[in-house]
Structure 1
């Protein structure tokens, strides 16, 4: 069974909608979710997710508020929840304090794309282990086999395979980069591979999961939240259209 992982930014469309979105993602059949921590300079993200970050920050979203919201859904939203963000706000909050709060509210793992693997090994890996948190690294088509194996050895939960070296939601994301997906499928990886960036519909999802264990949808889903006043209904329809 191929896994569907849905990303959305915390604190949109309105500040207190995070829990409601998470509940709908679970009810609609997704296997996992990534909840984005809004940040003022999300360099790896395209315009739609940048717009979501801006809106969430305008709505007043903070890490403290996010943990309060996550505590409220801890017992009802039981599919794995991953927090995705940038290192700077986490360090400002306090890395160990952040990990401790993650454990308290039932977080499965973290994705911090700008955390260097060397720093992870020297400093942060032990803290994550202490609080039983997975950490997911990203690889791209340009990542060498040797480095993919290295990042896989540090990762737990899954390995995030970026479909192309671009920002999220890029229309030119090459989902059918067969050489890359073949290469990943032939390496002796310890983690499942989830492909992300550019997946928009059922066809895309089926395409990337022919040679991987899961697909991650972010920009297309965030767009549903941003563009529709009746987003609750649209969210269900959208996820069901991919999983159905």
Structure 2
């Protein structure tokens, strides 16, 4: 059982996850940010590896990805930075990014490296479910990695139930059809969507992401899930000249 699975076994409510882009604002900030987020109360982290065409991301994360790439961030450099991860950070860590980067690195090499540095799972939004199941599931399981699938308001019940069967940590519930960074409007349709998923009585816990930007939207989402993920709002808040202070101030609103 990896750290992520242990976390969800121990805690089913009010989990707070933070996403940020590796190599942003500066190339070597990756572990410093992780360490500060753990100190400030984050329950688990999603570290994004940048890609030149991040189609699911809004302008804030797109800009952070471009800056990270301009800074020289690559997957090999990220793994080199993460070799000291478990000397500094105890909470679960997920890597999040696009499948082309993983394929270029090599899926088995990627999974093996994740295990070596202490990464617990991955979110690869554009990895087709059937490809994962037929080609890569055994490799992920061999190296103890959880693969996190995304569900949107348009996902069919049949597909959601299959995702539930394939999941061994949590399901990422995308709050709307928008890209990252759109504000979550807890409308009647969003509430009905969250309730519909809750009423399915899935075996896997769900965590809500996309549009969670402050305490209000975090608490609203947490009513219907095990917790929520904040990305764009955090990335926007990072101050390169006051890294620790800006993280502590942002996280202070949730604790």
Question: Does 2:215 correspond to 1:215?
Answer: no
What is the CA–CA distance in structure 2 between the aligned matches of 1:216 and 1:109, rounded to whole Å? 15
Secondary structure in 2 matching 1:75: helix
Residues 224 and 231 in structure 1, CA contact (< 8 A), matched pair in contact too: no
Displacement of 1:156 in angstroms is 2.1
Query: TM-score, with normalisation over the residues of structure 1?
Result: 0.96
In structure 2, the partner of 1:204 is 217
In structure 2, the partner of 1:94 is 106
Gaps of 5+ in 2: 1-12
RMSD over aligned CA atoms reads 1.1
Query: TM-score, with normalisation over the residues of structure 2?
Result: 0.92
Cα deviations by residue, 1:171-200 (Å, 9 ceiling, x for unpaired): 3x4444111110111112121100000011
After TM superposition, the structure 1 stretch with the greater mean CA deviation from structure 2, 154-163 or 44-53, is: 154-163
Question: Does 2:54 correspond to 1:25?
Answer: no
Cα deviations by residue, 1:15-61 (Å, 9 ceiling, x for unpaired): 00001000011000000000000000000000000000000000000
What is the CA–CA distance in structure 2 between the aligned matches of 1:135 and 1:73, rounded to whole Å? 20
Displacement of 1:228 in angstroms is 5.6
Residues 9 and 49 in structure 1, CA contact (< 8 A), matched pair in contact too: yes
**2:172 counterpart (148, 160, 164):** 160
In structure 1, the partner of 2:70 is 58
User: How many residues end up aligned between the 2 structures?
Assistant: 241
In structure 2, the partner of 1:131 is 143
In structure 1, the partner of 2:56 is 44
Large movers: runs of 4+ above 6 Å: none
What is the CA–CA distance in structure 2 between the aligned matches of 1:30 and 1:159, rounded to whole Å? 18
